[in-house]
Structure 1
């Protein structure tokens, strides 16, 4: 397996975290579990392999152009065949400039993006398949999403406000900080909840929990601190809170996860 990361054009950088290419020439069957990351993603399948995700109590084949909504619980995936995938990973607040639908309706599922964006995204997929290099593909992505951003210019002020709110929440990785953040922005906690959910698919509390969880994943991956220290450094009130939240997001205790580090989920913290 090989992951490569690419930065978007400057105008897109506040909304798109990065592009990535995933390549695998191994035809062996592969299984993993995807954990919550706080990001939404678009994935273009350019190879011959098959990906499936566990939805509605069964494994179902993922579409050629995947829209990953917010994942809030463990999601099993499996694949077969050789893969070439090109992904667009949005910041938590970033998807609404490209997709008009309320993002929360896509939570915990892998949807067919052609049902959401229609012919435009299908045409882009065709051009990506024909492109002869990764540089050409990145240029195609930049041009496509830049045009979407231009059309969404009226939304940018609100998207930027949500980004600032999320940054404030992330800077204070402790529980029960939502009221303080709302006060800083001069809004009620009820309006903050509505604003964040409309633009991210997550409640402020869910975003806060996922942010602390991602911080703990990164620290576990570095393997430099005992789990007790990781809990406090990630903003958990105590060890029991850490273990409970971690298990709800992964199905594993932190110590069990440490013994089963996954390439897919280590990718999620980048």
Structure 2
């Protein structure tokens, strides 16, 4: 369950959506929903989490870069597990990691494999702090340090931000030709920008945004599936169910019962 939410300082606000803690009071097997964002997940309870994808299972590292999930995935969490999670804006996660964002897609990457000793020192400092607020301060200092070292192009960053906003606001079927014509860049160049900066293609990014709109309506609205499908821009209910199941392994009705 989501416990507490913290908002970033002014210097990080353009790049980080928020920080939040996720705490579990019982052992649970949770469906992982694609968020449309890359996240940095820090286990601050030292309780094991195991992620399941089909017949494969893996222990989650204490410092985890969690990329975009576009395939059905479950997480087995033990009682007492608490994570401190940084959710980056879709266009901005590449500012904090040297890898192309696509390296993280459908992957759980140990931050120590990226930054070596620096990651271990950061984790030790964070875990030494007695309060959650102080842990967030250490996290912010680490992210600001990474941001200052960033060598990425500000011009490209702004372009990717505009592209993401344009795609996220689309309420009809996505068409990369329209996106290319609107911004005056080739389809190939836009595809590469998305893979490097966001981690998924613009088509997949649109699909995940649409999925999240439908998930919110499932949780909050009494509308029938046909109405939700139409409102979110799916061709029909069958299309809605097929795409929903491709992300979660469950039908919309099955997820609604979990809400």
TM-score, normalised on structure 1? 0.90
Aligned partner of 1:4 in structure 2 is 4
Residue 130 of structure 2: SS of its match in structure 1? Answer: coil
Gaps of 5+ in 2: none
Which of 200-209 and 28-37 deviates more?
28-37
* C-alpha displacement of 1:203: 0.6
Cα deviations across residues 181-227 of structure 1 (Å, max 9, x unaligned)?
22111111121111111111101110011110011001111124222
Q: Which of 8, 13, 27 is the equivalent residue of 1:29?
A: 27
Aligned partner of 1:120 in structure 2 is 118
Residue 12 of structure 1: SS of its match in structure 2? Answer: coil
Structure 2: how far apart are the matches of 1:154 and 1:108?
A: 24
Q: Structure 2 vs 1, CA of residues 2 and 105 (structure 1 numbering), >3 Å: closer, same or farther?
A: closer
TM-score, normalised on structure 2? 0.93
Aligned partner of 1:186 in structure 2 is 184
Aligned partner of 2:71 in structure 1 is 73
Structure 2: how far apart are the matches of 1:123 and 1:74?
A: 34
Cα deviations across residues 31-58 of structure 1 (Å, max 9, x unaligned)?
1121222111111111131101125833
Q: Which of 150, 157, 160 is the equivalent residue of 2:158?
A: 160
User: Could you tell me whether the CA contact under 8 Å between 1:46 and 1:84 is conserved in 2?
Assistant: yes
Cα deviations across residues 76-116 of structure 1 (Å, max 9, x unaligned)?
11022412321111122221111011121222121211001
Q: Which of 51, 54, 61 is the equivalent residue of 2:52?
A: 54
Residue 259 of structure 1: SS of its match in structure 2? Answer: helix
User: Could you tell me whether the CA contact under 8 Å between 1:48 and 1:81 is conserved in 2?
Assistant: no
Say what the alpha-carbon RMSD is for the aligned residues.
1.7
Aligned partner of 1:212 in structure 2 is 210
Gaps of 5+ in 1: 262-270
Residue 133 of structure 2: SS of its match in structure 1? Answer: helix
Aligned partner of 1:106 in structure 2 is 104
Q: Which of 142, 145, 148 is the equivalent residue of 2:146?
A: 148
